[in-house]
Homo-oligomer: A and B are copies of this chain.
Amino acid sequence: MLRVSILTIGDEILIGQIVNTNASWIAQKCVEVGASVIEHCVVGDSEEEILETLKRLYNLSDIILITGGLGPTRDDLTKPVLIKFFDDELIFSDEVLEWIKEYYSKRGINEVTERNKNLALIPKSCTPLKNLVGTAPGLLFEKENKAVFAMPGVPKEMQFLMKEYVIPYIQNKITSRKLPTHIFRVLQTCGIAESVLADKLSGLEEILNGVNVAFLPSYKGVRLRIEAKGEDVVKTELAIQKVVDFIKGKVGEYIFGEGEVSLAQVVGELLAERKETVAVAESCAGGLLGGEFTNNPGSSRYFLGGIIAYSNEIKERILGVEKQVLQKFGAVSQETATQMSENVRKLFKSTYGISITGIAGPEGGTTEKPVGTVWISLSAPDKTIAKRYQFGDDRQINRERSVGAALTMLYAYLKRLEI
């Protein structure tokens, strides 16, 4: 196994002002190519603590991936620590200065400030890595068959350096050293409960043959993580493939995608293939369903837009929900949800209309309709469906689950699934 550890440097992360999305992004990319991530560690802007952690991780790891602390100010301690650790010295790199000048001149700036010139001061023994999306270069140290990469903490810059240099480097090491591997695959399901999934997958235990399968339920559906360690990449991949094939044979229709793909993306691509369109009518979700569709590049092929109808008056006047329906059944009801989805479909002339109306909380619950009650409706050319959901008492989670349930409803319709 190629052992990779991830070291994140910065007070901002340590004190919780920023969530460490870099570490999970890096881990995912490393795992995808068969490396084994052994630890993430976050320490603050303290030379002593960075150095201690670096020493410790160096003993445990083949590769250390550092982010943060590479900027031009005196808070940025990664370079000084690496200098100490590798018993190295700073030199001025004309090559790096050229990169920085090039970066600025492409953006119409022809003067490099003194502070930014500091970025061209790099440890003598490292290989600088050209950063096309920022000014601080990545740094690569190789020693004793180990490697330490230092990257800026800005996600875009880190991601660029990872894709351009780190991932190919890791792939190369695994291949050339013929290292044992640890492979993960993730199948994403929707519209099926964990227990039903487990029932449908009976017989799975017998064919595993060293492969592990974990069931990971979340608000968005159950993910299946299939994982195996092995001496040989090809053999390990085949063993995993056998399990994946078994699962797909049993519950393939509930698997909407593999890996990082989102349900909105999959639903969107299905719509685009069918040259169909969708519009949304959102009450408690407040625009999040539209936001989820339009997260995906190219969503204008199938997403026309929608109405956010947060008040009853807007539901009536703009979405055309009948006053009597609102009065008799209330805003959170099958009847209102149905009129919302049917009317937004007519208004936008889309193939499908989806509506969400519910009580996200913390206020607004009643005995009959407690917080977490959500009606979701899908209006299609041949029929309209509406379903009541009972989520929990957390506002944010209720909103997210509503969006997930609405996407699942459309996915199930397109795939002719019973949910």
Binding site for B on A (CB under 8 A): 11-21, 23-31, 37-44, 49, 53, 56, 75, 156, 184, 186, 214, 216, 223, 225, 280, 282, 284-291, 293-295, 297-300, 303-311, 313-314, 318, 347-348, 360-363, 394-397, 399
Closest B-chain residue to A46, C-beta based? Answer: B38
Provide a sorted-by-A list of 19 A–B residue pairs whose CB atoms are within 8 angstroms.
A14-B39, A16-B29, A37-B44, A38-B43, A39-B53, A156-B394, A286-B291, A286-B295, A290-B308, A291-B291, A294-B310, A294-B360, A298-B363, A304-B310, A305-B310, A305-B314, A306-B307, A307-B308, A318-B347
- Additional A-B contact list (16), CB under 8 Å, known A15-B37, A20-B24: A15-B184, A16-B30, A39-B43, A40-B40, A40-B41, A41-B42, A56-B56, A287-B294, A290-B310, A297-B362, A300-B310, A300-B311, A304-B310, A305-B310, A306-B307, A307-B307
Bound state CA distance, A37 and B11, in angstroms? 9
Closest B-chain residue to A18, C-beta based? Answer: B24
Bound state CA distance, A99 and B313, in angstroms? 45
- Measured CB to CB, the closest approach of chain B to A181, in angstroms, equals 14
- Measured CB to CB, the closest approach of chain B to A149, in angstroms, equals 17
- List B contacts of A303 (CB < 8 A): 286, 310
Bound state CA distance, A311 and B31, in angstroms? 39
Q: What 7 pairs across the A-B complex have the smallest Cβ distances?
A: A286-B294, A287-B290, A287-B287, A16-B27, A16-B28, A40-B42, A16-B24
- List B contacts of A14 (CB < 8 A): 27, 37-40
Bound state CA distance, A287 and B294, in angstroms? 8
B25, B223, B284: which contacts A16 (Cβ < 8 A)?
Answer: B25
| A49-B38, A348-B318 known; A287 vs B308 contact (CB < 8 Å) | yes
Contact (Cβ within 8 A) A290 B297: no
| A286-B303, A306-B308, A347-B318 known; A17 vs B291 contact (CB < 8 Å) | no
Bound state CA distance, A313 and B44, in angstroms? 52
Bound state CA distance, A285 and B294, in angstroms? 8
Contact (Cβ within 8 A) B318 A309: no
- List B contacts of A313 (CB < 8 A): 304
- List B contacts of A362 (CB < 8 A): 297
Contact (Cβ within 8 A) A21 B19: yes
- List B contacts of A298 (CB < 8 A): 363
- List B contacts of A39 (CB < 8 A): 14, 41-43, 49, 53
Closest B-chain residue to A277, C-beta based? Answer: B311
Contact (Cβ within 8 A) A20 B20: yes
Bound state CA distance, A295 and B396, in angstroms? 7
- Measured CB to CB, the closest approach of chain B to A196, in angstroms, equals 17
- Measured CB to CB, the closest approach of chain B to A376, in angstroms, equals 16
- List B contacts of A288 (CB < 8 A): 287-288, 290-291, 294
Bound state CA distance, A26 and B216, in angstroms? 23
- Measured CB to CB, the closest approach of chain B to A381, in angstroms, equals 19
- Measured CB to CB, the closest approach of chain B to A108, in angstroms, equals 12
- List B contacts of A216 (CB < 8 A): 12, 17
- List B contacts of A16 (CB < 8 A): 23-31, 37
- List B contacts of A311 (CB < 8 A): 300, 304-305
